Amino acid sequence: MLSAKYVSVFGGDSTKKAFKKAHTEYLNFLEMNADFSGGQEEIAEYEYLKNNPKKAIKAYETALAFDDYNNNAPLNLAYLYYQQNDIKRAARLYDKVIKQEPDNSYPYYMLGLLFNELGKDKASLNYLKQASEREPFNFRAYYNYALKLQQKQQFSESIKVIEKALKKLPNNSELLYVKLIGLMKLNKVNEAEKVCSQLITLNPGNQNFQQILV
């Protein structure tokens, strides 16, 4: 049980009143800026944090209606559609961002995930490949792209993809493990042993890596 001292600090009337006042001021701020795209984004983020995804979606849609060239809103809105399993709407928004920001890796990556869920491997591979060729660097794009290639038995290509990512994250265990699997499938024992030894050094408590090396 909290002592009387801590109850007074964290649960006293003055604290509650201050919080209520700050919250009211923030709601007034949101209302004052509701006629602007950025204001609707603020509302969307507020509703999302309150676990009101439908209201967040409505606010992001309004933000887009105010400013069709605001790419922050469609990216967040597409993610919310994705969470709500509205894959088609999410895909359309990511395509929209790509048309306006063709060098942004993120929408390509998300489309790669979307098409993977839809079972469209060719499209998924294409978008994950493009994501791994763009900035900002996203090791998950490389990771998922390499896994998809391995599913297609393209182990040599998957290793090339992982090695590009490892240039930026040389000690990433997830990337190294995918490389290890590729090397083992290609029966490159010596190289596989080196990667496995590196994984053991990075993860000394992982018995699985110890067993692979044996």
**pLDDT tens, position by position, 107-116:** 999 999 999 9
Count CB-CB contacts under 10 A for residue 54. Answer: 10
pLDDT of 24 reads: 66
User: What DSSP string describes 176-202?
Assistant: HHHHHHHHHHTT-HHHHHHHHHHHHHH
Mean pLDDT by 10 residues, the chain (214 residues): 40 63 64 76 90 93 87 90 92 94 96 94 97 97 98 98 98 98 96 96 88 74
Contact 154, 122 (CB under 8 A): no
pLDDT of 10 reads: 46
pLDDT of 190 reads: 95
pLDDT of 11 reads: 54
pLDDT of 51 reads: 94
pLDDT of 4 reads: 38
The structure tokens listed for 54 are 């439908």
Contact 148, 170 (CB under 8 A): no
Provide the sign of the torsion angle of the four alpha carbons 60, 65, 71, 72, taken in this order: negative
pLDDT of 134 reads: 97
Give the residue carrying structure tokens 């001292």: 5
Contact 176, 183 (CB under 8 A): no
Residue 120 is classified by DSSP as -
Contact 42, 30 (CB under 8 A): yes
Cut 0.85: pTM above it? no
